[in-house]
């Protein structure tokens, strides 16, 4: 019998929201509108300024604008901004801003320029961040962007820290995620970030998902998580194979932020699909291909 996901004060369906731009600047009103849309349509909480939110292309002032607008629009729902940076000081600077804005927790990546040159370097980095803040941290494992993975030994070494709440795993390695589930306790929340493995991960005890597709169809992601947790295998399989996977695959092909913004414009949630270099917007042919997948899997009016 699959293990149900652990209860989480952050919920199970968390949305790594895009950052809408208008005339080259962050559109705070559109940030708030997107936050309200996702929460009204099945999401439990928000993850602004993550990978899909183009965090590495935001200034500190823009980071504060996005986090503040998200917290205000969330109206008490959990908000867990990304606080990724390649230094301890830069990470802490973003955590301080997030805390001042009223965030509930933050996501932290390993340094994405200098990797550890010997055993213990990554643990030293994480513990240095934990030592300087009381805001709960969620590790964010995304080796395709960072260049290194948060291995199971490291997670096990730091998992009992009172301010470490869990991890988002976007490695695409289900075996790796399951090993971390096996080595950590019920209070350590594992979120699947690789959408095409959402149902298998939750069926094996992951808390839930932090998935780009949930920007525009949060209700579907929430239903898939719920079905997997309830051992409703037929419904969970249908949602995973016929709905979540096709949307994830085309987002992976064209890029998560550009594809997500294209769908959100099509759905009338935001007005502008602009992304910042080096990302580029989808062309007409790509937008049509994405729209065809959306229509084929869910229909444009799906929740």
Q: pLDDT (tens digit, 9 = 90+) per residue, 117-146?
A: 888 999 999 999 999 999 999 999 999 999
| Strand-pair category, 45-46 with 13-15 | parallel
- Decide if 159 contacts 184 (C-beta within 8 A): yes
Q: What is the pLDDT of residue 121?
A: 95
Domain ranges for the chain, please list them.
Answer: 13-230
- Residue 174, judged by CB atoms within 10 A of its CB (0-12, 13-18, 19+), counts as middle
Superfamily of 13-230 according to CATH: Aldolase class I (3.20.20.70)
d(CA 257, CA 16): 10
**Tokens found for residue 139:** 């590790």
List, by residue number, the catalytic residues.
Answer: 140, 168
In what side-by-side order are the strands of the sheet with 137-141? 45-46, 13-15, 208-210, 189-192, 164-169, 137-141, 106-108
13 is in an annotated binding site: no
Ligand-binding site membership of 175 (annotated):
no
Residues 6+ apart with CB under 8 A from 182: none
Q: What is the pTM of this model?
A: 0.94
What is the arithmetic mean of pLDDT over 228-252? 95
Does 7 score more than 80 pLDDT?
Answer: no
Residue ranges of E strands in the chain: 13-15, 21-22, 25-26, 45-46, 106-108, 137-141, 164-169, 189-192, 208-210
Place of tokens 């550890």: 116
């Amino acid at each position: 019998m699959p293990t149900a996901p652990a209860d989480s004060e952050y919920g199970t369906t968390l949305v790594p929201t895009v950052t809408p731009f208008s005339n080259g600047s962050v559109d705070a009103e559109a940030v708030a509108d997107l936050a309200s849309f996702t929460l009204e349509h099945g999401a439990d909480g928000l993850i602004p300024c993550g990978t899909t939110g183009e965090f590495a292309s935001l200034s500190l002032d823009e980071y504060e604008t996005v986090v503040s607008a998200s917290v205000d629009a969330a109206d008490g729902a959990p908000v867990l901004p990304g606080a990724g940076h390649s230094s301890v000081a830069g990470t802490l600077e973003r955590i301080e801003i997030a805390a001042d804005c009223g965030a509930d927790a933050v996501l932290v990546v390993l340094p994405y320029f200098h990797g550890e040159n010997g055993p213990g370097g990554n643990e030293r980095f994480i513990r240095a961040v934990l030592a300087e803040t009381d805001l709960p941290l969620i590790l964010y494992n995304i080796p395709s962007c960072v260049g290194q993975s948060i291995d199971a030994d490291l997670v096990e070494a730091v998992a009992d820290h009172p301010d470490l709440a869990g991890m988002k795993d976007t490695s695409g390695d289900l075996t790796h995620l399951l090993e971390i589930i096996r080595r950590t306790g019920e209070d350590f929340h594992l979120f699947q970030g690789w959408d095409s493995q959402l149902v298998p991960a939750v069926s094996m005890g992951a808390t839930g998902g932090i998935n780009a597709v949930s920007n525009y169809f949060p209700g579907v992601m929430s239903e898939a998580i719920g079905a997997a947790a309830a051992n409703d295998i037929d419904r969970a399989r249908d949602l995973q194979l016929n709905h979540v996977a096709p949307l994830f695959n085309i987002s992976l092909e064209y890029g998560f932020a550009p594809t997500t913004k294209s769908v959100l414009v099509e759905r009338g949630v935001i007005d502008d699909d602009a992304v910042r270099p080096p990302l580029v917007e989808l062309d007409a042919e790509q937008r049509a291909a994405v729209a065809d997948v959306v229509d084929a899997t869910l229909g444009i009016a799906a929740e």
